Protein backbone atom coordinates (compact mmCIF):
# COMPACT_ATOMS: atom_id res chain seq x y z
CA UNK A 1 0.00 0.00 0.00
CA UNK A 2 3.08 2.29 0.29
CA UNK A 3 1.55 4.11 3.29
CA UNK A 4 -1.69 4.73 1.38
CA UNK A 5 -4.95 2.81 1.66
CA UNK A 6 -5.32 2.97 -2.15
CA UNK A 7 -3.39 0.08 -3.77
CA UNK A 8 -0.43 1.11 -5.90
CA UNK A 9 -0.40 -1.69 -8.47
CA UNK A 10 -2.78 -1.21 -11.39
CA UNK A 11 -4.53 -4.57 -11.09
CA UNK A 12 -4.93 -4.35 -7.32
CA UNK A 13 -6.22 -0.78 -7.64
CA UNK A 14 -8.80 -1.88 -10.21
CA UNK A 15 -10.12 -4.69 -8.00
CA UNK A 16 -10.23 -2.39 -4.95
CA UNK A 17 -12.09 0.30 -6.89
CA UNK A 18 -14.58 -2.25 -8.23
CA UNK A 19 -15.20 -3.64 -4.73
CA UNK A 20 -15.74 -0.21 -3.20
CA UNK A 21 -17.97 1.03 -6.02
CA UNK A 22 -20.11 -2.11 -6.00
CA UNK A 23 -20.46 -1.98 -2.22
CA UNK A 24 -21.55 1.66 -2.24
CA UNK A 25 -24.00 0.99 -5.09
CA UNK A 26 -25.61 -1.76 -2.99
CA UNK A 27 -25.88 0.51 0.08
CA UNK A 28 -26.90 3.88 -1.41
CA UNK A 29 -30.11 4.09 0.60
CA UNK A 30 -28.49 3.06 3.87
CA UNK A 31 -25.62 5.50 3.37
CA UNK A 32 -27.97 8.35 2.33
CA UNK A 33 -26.08 8.83 -0.93
CA UNK A 34 -27.78 9.83 -4.17
CA UNK A 35 -27.26 7.75 -7.32
CA UNK A 36 -26.11 10.91 -9.10
CA UNK A 37 -23.17 11.21 -6.69
CA UNK A 38 -21.89 7.71 -7.54
CA UNK A 39 -22.59 7.84 -11.30
CA UNK A 40 -19.37 9.74 -12.23
CA UNK A 41 -17.30 7.17 -10.29
CA UNK A 42 -18.98 4.31 -12.15
CA UNK A 43 -18.24 6.00 -15.48
CA UNK A 44 -14.58 6.58 -14.63
CA UNK A 45 -14.29 3.00 -13.38
CA UNK A 46 -15.64 1.67 -16.68
CA UNK A 47 -13.19 3.90 -18.56
CA UNK A 48 -10.29 2.60 -16.49
CA UNK A 49 -11.37 -1.03 -16.96
CA UNK A 50 -11.35 -0.52 -20.73
CA UNK A 51 -8.00 1.27 -20.72
CA UNK A 52 -6.49 -1.32 -18.37
CA UNK A 53 -7.59 -4.21 -20.61
CA UNK A 54 -6.03 -2.54 -23.65
CA UNK A 55 -2.78 -1.86 -21.79
CA UNK A 56 -2.61 -5.51 -20.68
CA UNK A 57 -2.89 -6.72 -24.29
CA UNK A 58 0.49 -8.05 -25.57
CA UNK A 59 0.01 -5.89 -28.70
CA UNK A 60 -0.39 -2.71 -26.68
CA UNK A 61 1.36 0.49 -27.66
CA UNK A 62 2.65 3.52 -25.78
CA UNK A 63 -0.64 5.29 -26.39
CA UNK A 64 -2.53 2.46 -24.66
CA UNK A 65 -0.29 2.65 -21.60
CA UNK A 66 -0.61 6.43 -21.46
CA UNK A 67 -4.41 6.20 -21.72
CA UNK A 68 -4.44 3.63 -18.91
CA UNK A 69 -2.35 5.88 -16.64
CA UNK A 70 -4.55 8.89 -17.34
CA UNK A 71 -7.73 6.90 -16.69
CA UNK A 72 -6.25 5.54 -13.45
CA UNK A 73 -5.25 9.02 -12.23
CA UNK A 74 -8.72 10.41 -13.02
CA UNK A 75 -10.47 7.58 -11.17
CA UNK A 76 -8.09 7.77 -8.22
CA UNK A 77 -8.63 11.52 -7.79
CA UNK A 78 -12.41 11.15 -8.05
CA UNK A 79 -12.45 8.31 -5.52
CA UNK A 80 -10.43 10.30 -2.99
CA UNK A 81 -12.92 13.18 -3.28
CA UNK A 82 -15.93 10.85 -3.09
CA UNK A 83 -14.58 8.96 -0.07
CA UNK A 84 -13.86 12.17 1.82
CA UNK A 85 -17.22 13.71 0.96
CA UNK A 86 -19.53 10.73 1.39
CA UNK A 87 -17.89 7.91 3.35
CA UNK A 88 -15.15 8.89 5.80
CA UNK A 89 -17.33 10.77 8.29
CA UNK A 90 -20.73 9.50 7.22
CA UNK A 91 -22.43 8.34 10.45
CA UNK A 92 -24.32 5.65 8.50
CA UNK A 93 -21.06 4.01 7.33
CA UNK A 94 -19.89 1.62 10.05
CA UNK A 95 -16.38 0.33 10.70
CA UNK A 96 -17.53 -3.00 9.24
CA UNK A 97 -18.61 -1.20 6.08
CA UNK A 98 -15.27 0.57 5.85
CA UNK A 99 -13.43 -2.72 6.30
CA UNK A 100 -15.49 -4.29 3.52
CA UNK A 101 -14.59 -1.39 1.24
CA UNK A 102 -10.90 -1.39 2.12
CA UNK A 103 -11.02 1.99 3.83
CA UNK A 104 -9.03 3.08 6.91
CA UNK A 105 -10.78 3.47 10.25
CA UNK A 106 -10.91 6.81 12.02
CA UNK A 107 -11.52 7.82 15.59
CA UNK A 108 -15.16 7.06 16.31
CA UNK A 109 -15.26 9.82 18.94
CA UNK A 110 -14.71 12.56 16.37
CA UNK A 111 -16.01 15.93 17.57
CA UNK A 112 -19.57 16.48 16.27
CA UNK A 113 -19.90 19.12 13.57
CA UNK A 114 -22.54 21.74 14.43
CA UNK A 115 -25.17 22.95 11.99
CA UNK A 116 -23.85 25.74 9.74
CA UNK A 117 -24.54 29.22 11.09
CA UNK A 118 -23.23 31.37 8.23
CA UNK A 119 -24.61 31.90 4.74
CA UNK A 120 -23.04 31.37 1.31
CA UNK A 121 -22.48 34.21 -1.10
CA UNK A 122 -22.78 33.44 -4.82
CA UNK A 123 -21.07 35.06 -7.79
CA UNK A 124 -22.53 34.11 -11.18
CA UNK A 125 -20.46 33.85 -14.37
CA UNK A 126 -22.35 33.78 -17.68
CA UNK A 127 -19.37 34.10 -20.02
CA UNK A 128 -19.96 30.68 -21.63
CA UNK A 129 -22.91 30.23 -23.98
CA UNK A 130 -25.85 28.23 -22.51
CA UNK A 131 -24.00 27.94 -19.20
CA UNK A 132 -23.94 29.75 -15.86
CA UNK A 133 -21.23 29.01 -13.29
CA UNK A 134 -22.10 29.61 -9.64
CA UNK A 135 -18.99 30.41 -7.58
CA UNK A 136 -19.68 30.37 -3.86
CA UNK A 137 -17.90 31.45 -0.70
CA UNK A 138 -18.74 31.95 2.95
CA UNK A 139 -20.25 35.29 3.86
CA UNK A 140 -17.49 37.84 4.39
CA UNK A 141 -14.74 35.50 3.22
CA UNK A 142 -12.27 36.57 0.57
CA UNK A 143 -11.67 32.98 -0.54
CA UNK A 144 -13.96 30.92 -2.70
CA UNK A 145 -15.11 27.56 -1.36
CA UNK A 146 -17.01 26.17 1.60
CA UNK A 147 -16.07 26.89 5.23
CA UNK A 148 -14.67 24.30 7.62
CA UNK A 149 -17.19 21.73 8.83
CA UNK A 150 -19.48 22.23 5.83
CA UNK A 151 -20.16 19.40 3.39
CA UNK A 152 -21.48 21.59 0.61
CA UNK A 153 -24.09 24.05 -0.58
CA UNK A 154 -27.65 23.28 -1.57
CA UNK A 155 -28.69 25.54 -4.45
CA UNK A 156 -32.43 26.05 -4.90
CA UNK A 157 -33.12 27.38 -8.41
CA UNK A 158 -35.65 27.98 -11.16
CA UNK A 159 -35.95 29.69 -14.54
CA UNK A 160 -38.70 32.26 -13.99
CA UNK A 161 -40.32 35.06 -15.94
CA UNK A 162 -40.85 37.16 -12.80
CA UNK A 163 -38.81 37.46 -9.62
CA UNK A 164 -39.69 34.87 -6.95
CA UNK A 165 -41.75 36.04 -4.00
CA UNK A 166 -40.15 33.46 -1.68
CA UNK A 167 -37.62 30.63 -1.74
CA UNK A 168 -40.55 28.22 -2.11
CA UNK A 169 -40.94 29.55 -5.68
CA UNK A 170 -37.56 27.97 -6.54
CA UNK A 171 -38.67 24.46 -7.44
CA UNK A 172 -35.36 22.79 -8.35
CA UNK A 173 -32.47 21.74 -6.14
CA UNK A 174 -28.79 21.08 -6.80
CA UNK A 175 -26.01 20.21 -4.38
CA UNK A 176 -22.40 21.34 -4.76
CA UNK A 177 -19.44 20.12 -2.72
CA UNK A 178 -16.95 22.22 -4.69
CA UNK A 179 -17.06 25.60 -6.38
CA UNK A 180 -18.11 26.41 -9.03
CA UNK A 181 -21.35 24.56 -9.69
CA UNK A 182 -22.15 24.73 -13.40
CA UNK A 183 -25.72 25.04 -14.67
CA UNK A 184 -26.09 23.91 -18.30
CA UNK A 185 -29.08 24.78 -20.45
CA UNK A 186 -30.50 24.11 -23.91
CA UNK A 187 -30.91 26.60 -26.74
CA UNK A 188 -34.58 27.41 -25.96
CA UNK A 189 -33.53 28.54 -22.45
CA UNK A 190 -31.30 31.35 -23.73
CA UNK A 191 -32.54 34.74 -22.56
CA UNK A 192 -34.44 33.31 -19.60
CA UNK A 193 -33.64 34.42 -16.04
CA UNK A 194 -32.07 31.96 -13.61
CA UNK A 195 -32.77 32.60 -9.92
CA UNK A 196 -30.66 30.83 -7.25
CA UNK A 197 -30.72 30.79 -3.44
CA UNK A 198 -28.08 28.86 -1.42
CA UNK A 199 -27.53 27.53 2.07
CA UNK A 200 -24.79 25.42 3.65
CA UNK A 201 -25.24 21.82 4.77
CA UNK A 202 -22.99 19.64 6.95
CA UNK A 203 -22.27 15.89 6.68
CA UNK A 204 -25.27 15.05 8.88
CA UNK A 205 -27.67 16.97 6.67
CA UNK A 206 -28.04 19.87 9.11
CA UNK A 207 -28.81 23.01 7.13
CA UNK A 208 -27.81 26.61 7.73
CA UNK A 209 -29.79 29.79 7.00
CA UNK A 210 -30.67 30.73 3.42
CA UNK A 211 -28.59 33.32 1.63
CA UNK A 212 -29.68 35.99 -0.84
CA UNK A 213 -31.54 35.12 -4.04
CA UNK A 214 -29.30 35.98 -6.99
CA UNK A 215 -30.08 35.99 -10.70
CA UNK A 216 -28.49 35.87 -14.14
CA UNK A 217 -29.65 35.74 -17.75
CA UNK A 218 -28.89 32.48 -19.57
CA UNK A 219 -26.43 33.49 -22.32
pLDDT in tens, 143-176: 999 998 899 999 999 999 999 999 999 999 999 9
CA distance 76 to 48: 10
Q: Which residues contact 215 (CB under 8 A, 6 or more apart)?
A: 124, 163, 193, 194, 195, 196
* In contact, 140 and 167? CB cutoff 8 Å: no
The overall average pLDDT reported for the chain is 92
For residue range 97-151, what is the model confidence (pLDDT) as tens digits? 999 999 988 655 555 678 999 999 999 999 999 999 999 999 989 899 999 889 9
Distance, CA of 132 to chain centre = 18
Do residues 68 and 10 make contact, with C-beta atoms less than 8 angstroms apart? yes
Contact 14, 42 (CB under 8 A): no
pLDDT of amino acid 112: 66
pTM attached to this predicted model = 0.52
CA distances from 52 to 48, 68, 144 (A): 6, 5, 37
Q: Measured between alpha carbons, how far apart are the two ends of the chain, in Å?
A: 48
Q: How many CB atoms within 10 Å of residue 35?
A: 10
> Which is higher by pLDDT, 1 or 186?
186
C-alpha 160: how far from its chain's center?
27
pLDDT at 204: 82
Task: Report whether 44 contacts 74 (CB < 8 A).
Answer: yes
Q: Give the side-chain half-sphere CA count within 13 A for 14.
A: 15
Instruction: Please say if the pLDDT value at position 190 is more than 50.
Output: yes
CA dist., res. 219 & res. 126, Å (int): 6
Amino acid sequence: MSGDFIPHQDGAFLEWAKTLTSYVAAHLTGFNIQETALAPIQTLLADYQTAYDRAENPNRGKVDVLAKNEARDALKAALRTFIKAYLTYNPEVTDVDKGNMGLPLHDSTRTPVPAPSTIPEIELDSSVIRQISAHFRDSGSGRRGKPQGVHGAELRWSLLETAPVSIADLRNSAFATATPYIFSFDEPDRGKTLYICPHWENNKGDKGPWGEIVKAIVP
